[in-house]
A and B are shown apart, each in its own frame.
Chain A
Amino acid sequence: MATVTLDQVRKSFGAHAVLHGIDLDVADGEFIVLVGPSGCGKSTLLRMIAGLETISDGEVVIGDEIVNDLPPKERNIAMVFQNYALYPHMRVAQNMGFSLRLARRPREEIDREVGRAARILDLEALLDRYPKELSGGQRQRVAMGRAIVRDPDVFLFDEPLSNLDAKLRVQMRAEIKALHQRLRTTTVYVTHDQIEAMTMADRIVVMRDGRIEQIGRPTELYDRPVNIFVATFIGSPAMNLVEGEIGERDGRKVLNVAHGAGTWDLPAAGGSLATGRKVTLGIRPEALFLAPEGAAATIIVTEPTGAETHVVMDIGGTHVTGVFRERIELEPGAEVRVIASPETYHLFDPATGNRIEIDAAT
């Protein structure tokens, strides 16, 4: 078990900088998920922790040792790759025991450790198989088994579920989480899938273009995204963004939504916002509800999913998605009125994309 600390970690390939000073503290036993669109540098960062990429600048600390110049095998970490990277010419047991064999551990110890890992992952019946004789999910479990056998300080996962079909992905997600709860090994997990991030992480690190946008618990990111990028990245369907302007009605500050499609109340603290200020209003699809005092909207598409109905509608020229618990059976073109409670608003500065803290706004 160990902590992982990144201090101003940078990476450049030639003149091209891909990571611009990453600071991150991973606590002992924590499950951290690095998430972001492809090309954001999350995998590169993971590979730098692993020792598979050199560190251009800054420090990577595992436990209390600076590991910048240590080769992977001296960092006591284990990594699970996206394509499993099982050795095709070795049986499952040999794959799992390879690291111990390299370390010249005694035969009985290798058998014991492989057996222990196989029991944890329910692989005992497969130990004599070759990787090509296994299904995708089984291969994934063997790859994890290979990681557990070594009892590492840190687990690294690089998009381990991307090659699995949707159903298996959900199942393996739960297995990895259960495994972490059982072993409590510090884990850094990379994915581009925000649902994986939300469901598995103790804390999520949202990255974009080589920088950290926000670090926080899943619900924190969901409830208080620091900018439009995080707001739209986390949550599915994505948060709606609507142009708005602060107006006044009966002496109270209100929000004129989408070029006059509606006028919505602001939270009590919204009084501090200057009249006439342009804002970008973020509303989660599930925060919208139908109400006569709401903004005028035209239905474009309704998508019943069974438990809920996804409705895409047009509010003042902007497409907005709503998720409703009730069954909505409206034809495209129908007129409705929708609104959201003021406390569910997220206000962003249209110029910078940053969150406007309503309580502190001036």
Chain B
Amino acid sequence: MDNIVASFAERRTDFVIKLLLVGIAVFWLMPFVVIFLTAIRSQGDMIRNGIFSWPEELRWDNFVAAWDTGRFNIYFRNSLFLILVKVPLGLLIASLAAYPLAKMKFRGSDTVFILFLVGLAVPIQVTLQPLLIMMSSLGIANTLWALIPPYLAFGLPFQIFVMRGFFRILPNELIEAARMDGASETSIFFRIMLPLSLPPLATLAIIDTLATWNEFLIALVLISANSSRTVPIGLMQFQGQYQSQFTLLMAGVLISIIPVLLIFLFLQRYFVAGLAGSVKG
């Protein structure tokens, strides 16, 4: 009897919790639903019926229109280029900086580490004008190359922080065993330490890809030429001073989510492991 009562109470609790979770999920998905509904209707339909209603007519060609009028082929290429260059390069530099900070004893290593961390506290906004001047005098303002140094610099502190923490928990004996096996310091890093760091690297790659793909402020200030614009800057075109093409904007937003989604799906098994910080010995 007790058991039945208990199991009934348990089932009820279970049900309530699930209901609550579904509620939260719906709430969470609402913006996405609105984006989706707006992206597949006409502007007039949206104004007449409001953003929560079902479209009168499905307008899939919004995506094509957004792609063409927004010149997404250029922006996509630019943003992909930034990700493909910046993310691996940043992670490589961060790992190369974090490894000695974690595993080698040298005078001032803690100071160096703290100096890196100070970078976390620098607000991007105060660096914008100096950056613009710097890139202009380097002659690369208005090109994609102007974005890479600041993106790297703002990404490194956190990446070094994470990678140093991870390298510290890798056993020293692995390094010593490799040294006994005849590995040079470079081989130890590239053939032992880096392959073992896939989980945190994947996590950082996802975070960094997302941040780079979505970065708006620096790109807005440093880039004005149409040929060098990135996706977030491109999306801005749908919003004019007197008129905003919400339907195309939302279609563009959906298109711009796709690469990030793909990368997340591809790396997510490492992502979870990286967050848990697990190392199988």
Using a CB–CB cutoff of 8 Å, the interface residues on chain A facing chain B are 50-52, 71-73, 77-79, 81-83, 85-89, 98-99, 102-103, 131-132, 146, 150
Contacts and interface: CB of A to CB of B under 8 A. Distances in A.
7 contacts: A50-B180, A71-B179, A73-B179, A81-B177, A82-B173, A85-B171, A131-B281
A83 B171 contact: yes
A106 B158 CA distance: 42
Interface of B: 171, 173-174, 176-183, 187, 192, 195-196, 279-281
A236 B103 CA distance: 41
A72 B196 CA distance: 23
Contact of B182 (A50, A83, A85, A102): A102
A87 B281 contact: no
A88 B176 contact: no
Given A88-B280, A132-B280, A146 B173 contact: no
Contacts of A146: 177, 181
B173 A89 contact: no
B174 A85 contact: yes
Given A99-B182, A102-B182, A85 B177 contact: yes
Contacts of B177: 79, 81, 85-87, 146
A79 B280 CA distance: 22
A185 to B, nearest CB: 15
Contact of B180 (A78, A82, A89): A78
Nearest to A152: B180
A52 B179 contact: yes
B169 to A, nearest CB: 13
A150 B177 CA distance: 13
Contacts of B183: 73, 98, 102
A131 B171 CA distance: 15
A146 B183 CA distance: 14
B176 A52 contact: yes
Contacts of B181: 73, 98-99, 102, 146, 150
B182 A73 contact: yes
B180 A77 contact: yes
B278 to A, nearest CB: 11
